[in-house]
Amino acid sequence: MDLVNQNILITGAADGLGLAISKSFAKTKAKLLLIDINYDKLIKNNISNAKNIKCDLSNINSVKNLIDKFSEEKVHIDILIHNAAVLVPKSFEETTSKYWNEMTNISLNSGYLLSNYAWTNMKKNKKGIIIFVSSRSGIEGFENESAYCASKHGLEGLMKSLAIEGSENGIQVFTVTPGMFMNTPMSEQNYDDEYKKKWVDPIELAPAFLKLASGSFNKLSGSHVNAWNLSREDAL
């Protein structure tokens, strides 16, 4: 798929993996829609051919208002990369309903709403790519991550269902896990020193997203993809 002039929406685009993905796609001449709560950082990053959008994904009304604006302006999404995530470890006893809702809104509920909006145009055009960024927390359980794990597991289930529904209309859907420990602001706060010795720059994982966005990996639609493996030159 030629990415020139394709509308690519990337959430959590201000730093970390989202910024690395944005920088990589900027080289393709695609039209980028970059979403983050930190609008100042989006501006500072100065990604070419990008429209920077402030949105608090933890607030579902903010997401709905953004989608309403997209609809009014007839913005269509060809490729959706839902990367945004926040991990603030809390024991289950400390997990309030407010915290639970914020965590699931950022990952799962925003992923649903943005995919639902993009779906109609993708179905009409008989093509589209949806990528949910997942992690080990989407396939395993971890202490003090009940809300985070639940939201990531939810994305895995959503991906599998959408891949089945989209297959007849050329829509490919994936979850992508980094496959390596990444040097990101979120990792800095949550990783032990042992893991920090092993981490890599997120830019090393960005090629996986370019490959999936090309439309050439239809056979992987409906599956959980390891970004580190796919990004390497000898992958697939």
Cα distances from 227 to residues 74, 173, 210, in angstroms, run 32, 15, 10
**Residue 26: inside a domain, yes or no?**
yes
Angle at CA of residue 199, ends 42 and 47, nearest 5° = 20
* pLDDT at position 192 over 70: no
Give the residue-averaged pLDDT of 162-166.
98
Structural domain for 198, as ranges: 7-231
Taking 50 as the threshold, does the pLDDT of residue 236 lie above it? no
Q: Assess if residue 31 is contained within a domain.
A: yes
N-term to C-term CA, the chain:
18
Which pLDDT belongs to residue 55? Answer: 98
Overall number of domains in the chain:
1
| 126 located within any domain | yes
For range 138-147, the mean pLDDT: 88
pLDDT in tens, 92-135: 999 999 999 999 999 999 999 999 999 999 999 999 999 999 98
Question: What is the DSSP pairing of strand 50-54 with strand 171-177?
Answer: unpaired
Q: What is the mean pLDDT of residues 154-179?
A: 96
Tokens standing for residue 96: 């309030």
Of the chain, the percentage scoring pLDDT greater than 70 comes to: 90
Predicted pLDDT at 193: 59
pLDDT of residue 199: 67
Using DSSP's 3-state secondary structure scheme, residue 35 falls into strand
Stretch 205-214: mean pLDDT: 96
**Residue 236 domain flag:** no
CATH number at 148 reads 3.40.50.720
d(CA 39, CA 19): 13
Q: Is residue 173 part of a domain?
A: yes
Asked whether residue 1 is assigned to any structural domain, the reply reads: no
Is 51 in contact with 36 (CB distance < 8 Å)?
no
More confident residue, 132 or 186: 132
Q: How far apart are CA 225 and CA 229, in angstroms?
A: 8
Residue 74 belongs to a domain: yes
Is the whole model's pTM more than 0.85, yes or no? yes
Q: Can you read off the two tokens belonging to residue 134?
A: 């997942």
The 3-state DSSP class for residue 53 equals: strand
Domain assignment of residue 2, yes or no: no
Strands (E), 83-209: 128-133, 171-177
